Amino acid sequence: MLVQNQVVPVGDLSVITDDFDLSTITTADVVFAVCAIVATFLLAHVVKRWLRRLLNRREEVPALAGDMIAKIVGYFIIALGLVLALEALGFSLGPLGSLLLLAMLAAVIAAQPLLRDLGAGLIIQFRRPFSAGDQVRIDDHEGEIDEVTARALRIKTVDGRRVHIPNRQVLDRPIDNLTAEGARMTTFVAGVAYDTDLDRACEVVIDAMTGTSWARADPAPQAFVEQFADSTINIACRFWHDPRIQDEWAARDEAMRAVKRSFDSNGITIAFPQRVLWSGHPDVMRVGLGSDTSRASKGDTAS
């Protein structure tokens, strides 16, 4: 004896099943639906290629932005083709449309980070804060722009790493384009003793930096008295050089070496931290550094 399984209905699905009457579908309907789907895929491909070429010819439209726009238009055409195919098969999109809408809403919510990165990538392309090959500093990352994809900015760092920063994070942070202006200024500090002739020291600094191969003549190097520190008078040494990160390192190294040599040859002392210790006797005072001076002071006090 055969036992038939009984299915307990969970809900009333007659509203949906009545709309999907497969018995009325003919071979011609199936052929038309398949042709509609194939035709829309081909049309989407052709339109994407044509639109991409059209947008890439316009200088104001970045290449990545043109590709993204072409893809979005292609997906829209494919969606229209699927709708036409379902209509040809006699499917009512009323209930199905509601389900699809809920599914699309859930997909949009789940894909928010991706959509934000996509939108941020488009904004970056249109604003053009940098181009491929520029060197930038974003947070703790600095290096050369390799590529801007739909999701992330790719940077090749000077120490051989490849960093991917999500586009939405790039928009939320300051972008320091190091090479956009073709030149950059570097400043370092030289601390001289308090008895130094500051006018002469600034002249020596400027002459030393002017004689280097990396410092640019226009704008000319500059030296400014910046601060009266604890043990030194600090002079800010400024000069312009080529903008790339490696150029900055080489230029700073050469300029600081040149300033040190010029100070030595002109009898200018680069002062070091000093401490004056008083032993308790008005006529006895020690000047020096560290523990040796402390021991000497204690000895004087004891005596």
pLDDT of 236 strictly over 70: yes
CA pair distance 268, 261, nearest whole angstrom: 10
**Mean pLDDT value of segment 242-269:** 96
- Residue 7 in any domain: the answer is no
288 vs 60, residue with greater confidence:
60
User: The tokens 């030595």 sit on which residue?
Assistant: 264
pLDDT at 126: 77
- Residue 236 in any domain: the answer is yes
**Mean pLDDT value of segment 25-36:** 77
Q: Are residues 261 and 289 in the same domain?
A: no
Q: Is the peptide bond before 273 cis (omega within 30 degrees of 0)?
A: no
pLDDT of 217 strictly over 60: yes
Domain that holds residue 166: 128-177
pLDDT at 48: 82
pLDDT at 218: 93
Select from 77, 99, 119 the last residue of a domain: 119
CA dihedral 196, 197, 202, 204 (to 10 degrees): -90
227 vs 52, residue with greater confidence:
227
**Mean pLDDT value of segment 126-133:** 84
pLDDT of 302 strictly over 80: no
3-state secondary structure 88-142: HCCCCHHHHHHHHHHHHHHHHHHCHHHHHHHHHHHHHHHHCCCCCCCEEEECCEE
- Residue 30 in any domain: the answer is yes
- Residue 203 in any domain: the answer is yes
Q: Are residues 134 and 42 in the same domain?
A: no
pLDDT at 257: 97
- Residue 169 in any domain: the answer is yes
Q: Are residues 69 and 165 in the same domain?
A: no
**Mean pLDDT value of segment 104-129:** 71
> SS3 for 172?
coil
- Residue 154 in any domain: the answer is yes
pLDDT above 90 covers a percentage of the chain that reads: 37
Q: Are residues 29 and 103 in the same domain?
A: yes
> Backbone phi, then psi, for 159, in 5-degree steps?
-100, 20
pLDDT at 281: 64
pLDDT at 2: 44
pLDDT at 162: 93
Select from 153, 177, 201 the last residue of a domain: 177
- Residue 162 in any domain: the answer is yes
CA pair distance 221, 214, nearest whole angstrom: 11
Spatial contact of 40 and 82, defined as CB atoms under 8 Å apart: yes
pLDDT category, 114, cuts 50, 70, 90? low
20 vs 43, residue with greater confidence:
43
Q: Are residues 115 and 20 in the same domain?
A: yes
pLDDT of 201 strictly over 50: yes
Q: Are residues 20 and 112 in the same domain?
A: yes
Sort strands 176-177 and 162-166 into parallel, antiparallel or unpaired. unpaired
User: The tokens 């509609």 sit on which residue?
Assistant: 36
Q: What is the CATH number of the domain that holds 255?
A: 3.30.70.100
Select from 74, 96, 119 the last residue of a domain: 119
Q: Are residues 109 and 141 in the same domain?
A: no
- Residue 160 in any domain: the answer is yes
Residue 255 C-alpha from the chain's centroid: 30
Q: How many domains does the chain have?
A: 4
pLDDT category, 272, cuts 50, 70, 90? confident
